[in-house]
Amino acid sequence: MFILVCLFWLLFVAVYDFRKRRVPNWLVLAGSVLALAALSIGTQPFGISWTAAATGAAAGFGFLLLFYVAGLMGAGDVKFAGALGLWVGLSALIPIWVIASLLAALHSVLWLVLRRWPSFPRLYLLLSDQRPATVDEGNVRSHGRARFIPYAAYLALATVVWMVWGRQG
């Protein structure tokens, strides 16, 4: 049952991050609470221990925190990686990071190509998350730093790939 809960959570995160380019705290917290519930009642779908889950959460959060501090990643991506570590543990996070990073790199390359040669303007806008500025008390404001790559969504998709193909050994 908890494997379906995890899949539903991953799907929700991916859709939310693709559409909004952010992962809200309530969604990260929900995934964390569900992972802890699965651990506490002994129905953890990937067979990891409390120690493995805690190590995965610390590694997921800590490693991506470096990218956040460098200004390369949003805080929601970092928190999601920590919650994801609770579900899969450190040993699974490594291939998940590799797959997600390859997907994010592909996203970046495609965005750069479409920026240079705008053959598909709608795809470019989807990849770049171009939103109009907002009006706040008569002042035009942008939405802050541009968020081109929905990394949490790619982590979620990479986790599904790992769940389907990576655990069969």
Whether 84 contacts 31, CB under 8 Å: yes
pLDDT for position 145: 54
Residue 139's DSSP bridge partners are 136
State residue 116's pLDDT score: 73
Q: What is the pTM of this model?
A: 0.82
**Three-state SS for 136?**
strand
Q: Which residue has the higher pLDDT, 24 or 168?
A: 24
CB 158 within 8 A of CB 83: no
Mean pLDDT computed over 100-108: 93
Give the whole-angstrom CA distance, residue 123 versus residue 111: 9
Beta bridge partners of 134: 141
For 114-137, write each residue's pLDDT tens digit: 777 666 665 656 666 655 444 344
* The pLDDT of residue 143 is above 80: no
Lowest mean pLDDT among 39-43, 55-59, 144-148: 144-148
The answer to whether the beta carbons of residues 7 and 163 sit under 8 Å apart is yes
